[in-house]
């Protein structure tokens, strides 16, 4: 069974469109994340979220918004897509927000904006 699953795995879309990436974890974790990995493989955290608080990386444009219907799901919605949004987006989870937690990553969603 896949611990952290995200869909779609590949997404090609035009500039200006709105798209969503869905994520689900079956680990019973309290905290979920979205990471962005650019072409140089740099992994940057975008959001961390548990049922108590949403922490937003201040460098993330407000076109990006996480939506969590319940603690097992954290979807990423992107408005008005731009070319620079092309990247791999990883959903992840950890037991809670404590400093020693291991992060479990999904397999990634490859987004290409044309």
Of the candidates 87, 63, 94, 57, the one whose C-alpha atom is nearest the C-alpha of residue 76 is 63
Minimal distance, residue 16 CB to another protein, in Å: 29
Contact 3, 27 (CB under 8 A): yes
CA 69 to CA 82: how far, in whole Å? 26
Site string for another protein, 16-55 (x = CB under 8 A): -------------------x----xxxxxx--x-x--x-x
Contact flag: residue 95 with another protein (CB under 8 A): no
In the block, which residue shows the tokens 């397999």?
A: 107
Among 90, 93, 111, 113, binds another protein (CB under 8 A): 90
State which of residues 19, 77, 86, 104 lies at the interface with another protein (CB under 8 A). 104
């Amino acid at each position: 069974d896949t611990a952290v699953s995200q869909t779609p795995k590949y997404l090609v879309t035009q500039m200006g469109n709105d798209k969503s990436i869905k994520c689900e974890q079956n680990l019973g974790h309290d905290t979920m994340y979205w990471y962005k990995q650019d072409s140089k493989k740099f992994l940057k955290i975008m959001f961390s979220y548990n049922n108590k608080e949403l922490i937003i990386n201040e460098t993330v444009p407000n076109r990006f918004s996480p939506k969590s219907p319940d603690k097992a799901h954290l979807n990423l919605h992107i408005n008005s897509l731009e070319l620079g949004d092309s990247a791999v987006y990883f959903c992840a989870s950890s037991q809670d927000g404590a400093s020693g937690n291991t992060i479990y990553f999904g397999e990634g969603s490859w987004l290409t904006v044309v």
